[in-house]
Each structure stands twice: as C-alpha cells, then as structure tokens.
Structure 1
C-alpha cells in the first residue's frame, strides 16, 4: 500500500519538545498538532497538522505514505494526545444496575471504572462500542464478536 507522496514539509522537535513543521517556503510553524479526521473508523487516513492558531498547515491523506522518520514523529505525538484503551475482556461487573463498577483487561493493562448509566455506552458504525466511565475516559470495544463468551454475556446485560 505504498504510493508516492510528495511531502513538501519537514518535521522536527524544538527545545521544548514541540513539533515544528517547516513548510516548502521555509516558514517554521512551532507547536503543530496532528489531528485525525476519523480517529476510530480510519485512524491511519486523513491526518491534519494544525497550527497553534487552529489552522491546517499540512494534510496527510494516508500515514503509510509518509516517510518513516516523519511518520514516527507524528505517531509519537498522536500517542501522547490520545488515550483510549481498548477493552479485550470483561472480568467482572459489580451489578447489572447502574452505576456499576467494571473490571476489564485492556490493551494497556487491567483497569477498573464506574459506568454511570447505559447511555454511556455508544454504538458506532462497524460494530464499535465506546464506553465512557464516570471520569469521562473513553474505552473502546473495536469488535464485539472478538470478545470471549463471558465478556459478551456481561456486556449483553447493558446493551
């Protein structure tokens, strides 16, 4: 899936650790922030590099087309900004009435959170579920069918 991409900018970090984009005209844009257009459904497609004023200074159609050194900087910056653990298993639910405490295994380790109400579970296209805990942290279940039987049984009580 490699296609030629005419990258007309370069990226580096300044002394404060911020991303700096140098455009084709040599203009430095300090503190740029990568923003995904579709962070859940297409995380590797459509990434804007935004200035501190909120203006798009570069657009990346497909991250795979960006040269590896630039891609590494963008991915590193995205990982520091985005925190959405992906639930891989539900171990225990304190109650089938809300609020309830959930104990789960995620791609980032074991977690425990409080689900305030069933309305905090949102269905997205493609079978994706977003679950917001009492503190506003979003947990994701990318594919319901990939969960084990016990996890699906617990989750079914809330859907």
Structure 2
C-alpha cells in the first residue's frame, strides 16, 4: 500500500532551513547587491563555511535544529569525576527522609515520657491497672473465704 493510505502520498516532506543558514544567505545577498563583481568569491566561501559548520555541529532531528529553546525544566545530566566528588560535605536530606527522622524522634520522646508515666495514656493505663489489681485482690479474698467456709462445713460433718 502506498504512503498516505488509499489515495497515495501527496507532496514531499517539509524541509526547514536553519536560521543561521538563512542569516548567512541574507548577508551574502546584500554583499552581492553592493558588489556585483564579488559574486563568485562569496558563493565559494559560503559553501566552505556551511560544510565546516555542519561537521562541527551535531545533527539535530525535528524542530530542535530550528528553534533554540532554553527549557528550565530540562537538566542535562553531567557526570562528575571521582576526584570532584566531595564526600565530607553533609548531604541534604529529602523531605521524606526528614519527616521519617522527625517521626522516629517524636516516637522515642513519647515512649520515654510514657515510661515515666507523664503522658495522659500512661496515667490512664496506670489507673486501669490499679483498678484491675484491686479487683483481683477482692476476688482472691472471696476465694479464700469460700475455701475456709467449705473446709469448716466439711469439718462439721
């Protein structure tokens, strides 16, 4: 099947000129208008310049070659050498790492206060423990009394 579907491909692919190339051509045209005798020399020079510029610049695909864009979000990855790395410098922590460290420290502080009995939860726990101890002591006393009563009743028979 031909390019472009059933109807075929119409026209050619678009080719855009480099802005630097256009500027060069405009300057050459101005010089030609001013100096009609220098026509042959300029065209030879411009061909040499364009071929040397193409070799030094890398080929850019698409619109990248046409428009010079300064994108602040695009950061080029620069690799550092081992000699350039500063190991002794303190590394900045990310927000998540800082929050995690803060969370651990606050938990440790709370546990320390909790063990000392200074937190509300610790006070409530201690009060609950006191109530449970008292209930257990009362239950133990009742059991002892029931045993003694049971032994006395057996002894009377």
TM range, smaller chain: under 0.3
Higher relative helix content: 2
Question: Which one has more relative contact order, counting CA pairs under 8 Å at least 6 apart?
Answer: 1
User: Which structure has the larger Rg?
Assistant: 2
More strand by share: 1
Q: Tell me the TM-score normalized by structure 1.
A: 0.20
The normalised TM-score by structure 2 is 0.20
